[in-house]
Amino acid sequence: MPSLRSELREYGLTPRKRLGQHFLVDRNILKKIVHTARVEKEDVILEVGPGLGEMTQALASQARRVIAVEIDSKLAAVLEEKLRDVSNVRIVRDDILKTDFRRLFDPGDYPIKVVANLPYQISTPLLFRFIESREIFSTLTLMLQREVAERMVAPPGKKQYGPLSVFIQSFFDLSICFLVKPSAFVPPPGVESAVVHLSWKEKPSVEAKDEEWFRRVVKGCFCYRRKTLINALKHSGLPLPQYPEQVIEKIGIDPQRRPETLSIEEFVRLAYELKL
Q: What is the CATH number of the domain that holds 259?
A: 1.10.8.100
Domain span at residue 212 reads 208-274
Indicate the pLDDT class of residue 172, thresholds 50, 70 and 90: very high
Is residue 16 over pLDDT 60?
yes
Question: Looking at the structure, do residues 254 and 187 belong to the same domain, yes or no?
Answer: no
pLDDT bracket for residue 17 (50, 70, 90):
low
pTM of this prediction exceeds 0.85: yes
**Nearest 5°: CA angle at 133, between 75 and 135?**
120
Q: Which of 140, 174, 200 is the last residue of a domain?
A: 200
**Are residues 139 and 65 part of one domain?**
yes
Q: Provide the CATH number for the domain around residue 31.
A: 3.40.50.150
Mean pLDDT rounded to a whole number for the chain? 91
**Tell me, what's the pLDDT at 1?**
45
Instruction: Give CA–CA dist 31/27, Å, rounded.
Output: 6
Q: Where are the beta strands (DSSP E) in the chain?
A: 23-24, 44-48, 65-70, 89-93, 112-117, 137-145, 172-180, 185-186, 193-200
Final residue belonging to a domain, choices 200, 225, 247: 200
Among the candidates 166, 200, 234, a domain finishes at 200
Q: pLDDT-derived band of residue 225, with 50, 70 and 90 as boundaries? A: confident
pLDDT digits (tens, 9 = 90+) for 255-275: 999 999 999 999 999 999 998
Banded model confidence at residue 107, pLDDT cuts 50, 70, 90: confident
